[in-house]
Amino acid sequence: MSDKQTILAIGGHVGDMELTAGGVLASHSLKGDRIVTLALTPGERGVPAGQDMADYRLQKIREAHAFADLLGGEAIVFDDIPDGELPDDAAIRWRVCDVIRKVRPSIIITHFKNSMHKDHMTTHRIVNDARFFAGLPSIERELPAAFAGKLYYAENWEDAVDYRPYVYVDFDQAAYDLWIEALSTHWFVTGSKSFPYMEYYKHLARVRGIEARKTYAETFMVPEETLRLRQSEL
């Protein structure tokens, strides 16, 4: 029986999970695990000045695939949903449910519940419900049920309200280097004037690593109902 894992990282936009969980994704990739990213919109409204937004949408999709390719993984982008207009309805939940059943992840990573960006908060709700639907055999879809046993919420500067680092996952220099190489395929990470994304997340990975007594780390929150540490003695 294979002990390899499949990690499905679901963001509201291309780049969300690549930034916030990319070091951990790169680390798992180097260990031979399967990496899949799903973006519920391309994230095209951060279009560079003077560039056509439709062209930037296509660029974002290419960037999603470039990142996944460098990790030996797969990228899925819902390219028919406009950035900022992610619907909070049943249809999108069934659509994500079907992706989960197709990918059959052992781990799902997505946004924390609070955010300054509506698409992030909507994604959080969608993923939680879709994971529930995907795991129920009594819900009949084209593919059989698939339950992702572990669910994590990534640390994002836009999703900071009430976020508390709960799980620290460290990674080594090789994973860090692969992550930064893959991140560099995203224009908004390297070229955006609105926020120094690359600088922020590189420093954050080092700070979290120091806190974990390691070199680099990324942190995650877990569903509140699972906030329990179980042990038999001190």
Q: Which domains does the chain have, with CATH numbers?
A: 6-224 (3.40.50.10320)
Contacts of 187 (CB under 8 A, 6+ apart): 48, 59, 63
pLDDT for res 227: 87
Taking the chain (234 residues) in runs of 10, the rounded mean pLDDT of each run is 86 98 98 98 93 96 98 98 97 98 98 96 98 97 94 97 96 98 97 94 98 98 87 77
Contact (Cβ atoms closer than 8 angstroms) between residue 189 and residue 15: yes
Q: What phi and psi values does residue 70 have, to the nearest 5 degrees?
A: -65, -25
Return phi, psi of residue 109, to 5°.
-120, 135
Predicted local distance difference test score (pLDDT) of residue 135: 97
Spatial neighbors of 190 by CB under 8 A, at least 6 apart, are: 183, 184, 197, 198
Tokens of residue 12, six digits: 């509201």
The alpha carbon of residue 76 and the mean position of all alpha carbons in its chain are separated, in whole angstroms, by 12
- Beta strand 216-221 with 150-154 is antiparallel
Whole-structure pTM value: 0.96
- What pLDDT is attached to residue 146? 96
CA distance readout (Å), 213 to 97, 123, 146, 171, 219 = 37, 32, 36, 11, 13
**What pLDDT does residue 1 have?**
40
Determine the pLDDT at residue 2. 57
pLDDT at 231: 75
- The pLDDT score that the predictor gives to residue 149 is 86
